[in-house]
Amino acid sequence: MTTDHPARMPPLPDMVIEPLVRAALAEDLGTYGDITTRTVIPAGTGYQARIRAREAGVASGMQLAAIAFRLIDPDLRFRVLIPDGSAFAQGDVLAEIEGEAASILSAERVALNFAGRLSGIATQTAAFVAETRGTSTRITCTRKTTPGLRIVEKQAVLHGGGFNHRFSLSDAILIKDNHIAAAGGIRAVLRAVKARASHMIRTEIEVDRLDQLAEVLDEGGADVVLLDNMTTPMLRDAVAMASGRIVLEASGTMRLDRIAEVAATGVDYISVGALTHSSRTLDLGLDF
C-alpha cells in the first residue's frame, strides 16, 4: 500500500496535541492510577516492548503514542521504526519502548487507542486515494469527526494521502441547502457574500441540480461548488458546464467502489465523511 501524496509531513507541535493525550491518560488512570501494575510489577523492573501491526495499513498516531509514554514516564525510551504516513505489513514493528515495565503497561492502552484509531483513518484514506490514481481528483475529509479529536483525525487523513476540508465553521464560507432556503435562494446568498465577506475568505456553495449550478456560474461570487448526491452522468455534465471556471467538489454516497468512476468525471475533489466517521480501528498490539 502506497500514497501518492507527500504524507511524511512535519508533525504537529507536541504542545498542540499533548492536551488530548493528557486527558485520555487521566480518564484511563482514574483516581488512583494503575492499581494492577502497582500490585504485581516490582519497582525497578525493566523491559523492552514493541508496538506490532496485526494487519497491514498506513501509520498514524505514532506521535501521540510517543507523548503518552513520555507523560507517564519521561525516562522511557520510545523509538519509532515506521513513521506516520508510512505503509506497513502485518507483523511489522512500528515502534519500540524501553524502560520501567510498570510505566510501559500504564501508558499502553492510551497509546494503542490513538495509534489504532488514527492508523485506521490513514489506511481507509489510502484506499480511497488509490481509486483516484491516474486522475487529478483529490480525496478530502469533512467535519464529521470525533468531538475533540478533529485535529488528529484530519492529520491522519493527510497521512493516508488525502487532503483536508475546512477545520471549523470559521475557516471558510460553505453555503448549504438550508442556508439557501433560509436566505431566499442562490442569488440572494451569493450577493450577500459579495457584499459582506472578506477578500481573504473563500466561498463554497452546495447544489444538487444542474440548473442550480448554472445559476451559480451566472451569478458568480463562489470559489467552489459542492455537487451533492449527483449521479455520475450529472457530475460529468457539471464538469462540462463549469469548463474549468470553478473548483468542483463531489459529495454524498461516495463509497469506495464508486470513487474511480466519480474521479473519471473530472471533478477536482471528492469529499468523504466516512474517512473519519466510519473508519475501522486498525489492530495494533503491544508485545513484551
The per-residue pLDDT for range 110-119, each reduced to its tens digit, is 999 999 999 9
Distances (CA, A) of 52 to 156, 214, 287: 19, 53, 7
Percentage of the residues of the chain whose pLDDT score is greater than 70? 97
DSSP-assigned states of every residue in 92-144:
-EEEEEEEEHHHHHHHHHHHHHHHHHHHHHHHHHHHHHHTTTTSS-EEE--S-
Asked if pLDDT for residue 1 goes beyond 90, the answer is no
**Residue 153 catalytic?**
no
Going from N- to C-terminal start, the domains of the chain cover 14-124+280-287, 130-278
Distances (CA, A) of 10 to 7, 147, 161, 211: 9, 24, 14, 43
**Residue 206 catalytic?**
yes
Q: Which of 34, 228, 249, 268 is catalytic?
A: 228
Distances (CA, A) of 236 to 39, 78, 187, 199, 233: 65, 50, 24, 31, 5
**Residue 154 catalytic?**
no
Q: Which of 52, 54, 109, 187 is catalytic?
A: 109
Asked if pLDDT for residue 3 goes beyond 50, the answer is no
Q: Does domain 130-278 have CATH number 3.40.50.300?
A: no
The per-residue pLDDT for range 232-266, each reduced to its tens digit, is 999 999 999 999 999 999 999 899 999 999 999 99
* The model's pTM: 0.94
Q: Which CATH number fits domain 14-124+280-287: 3.40.640.10, 3.30.70.520, 3.90.1170.20, 3.40.1350.10?
A: 3.90.1170.20
Q: Which of 206, 219, 249, 268 is catalytic?
A: 206
The answer to whether 208 touches 191, Cβ cutoff 8 Å, is no
The per-residue pLDDT for range 174-195, each reduced to its tens digit, is 999 999 999 999 999 999 999 9
**Residue 187 catalytic?**
no
Percentage of the residues of the chain whose pLDDT score is greater than 90? 96
Q: Which of 144, 150, 166, 236 is catalytic?
A: 144
The per-residue pLDDT for range 11-66, each reduced to its tens digit, is 899 999 999 999 999 999 999 999 999 999 999 999 999 999 999 999 999 999 99
Find, among 62, 111, 86, 99, the residue nearest to 3 by Cα.
86
Q: Which of 54, 166, 176, 187 is catalytic?
A: 176
Are 14-124+280-287 and 130-278 equal in CATH topology?
no
**Residue 176 catalytic?**
yes
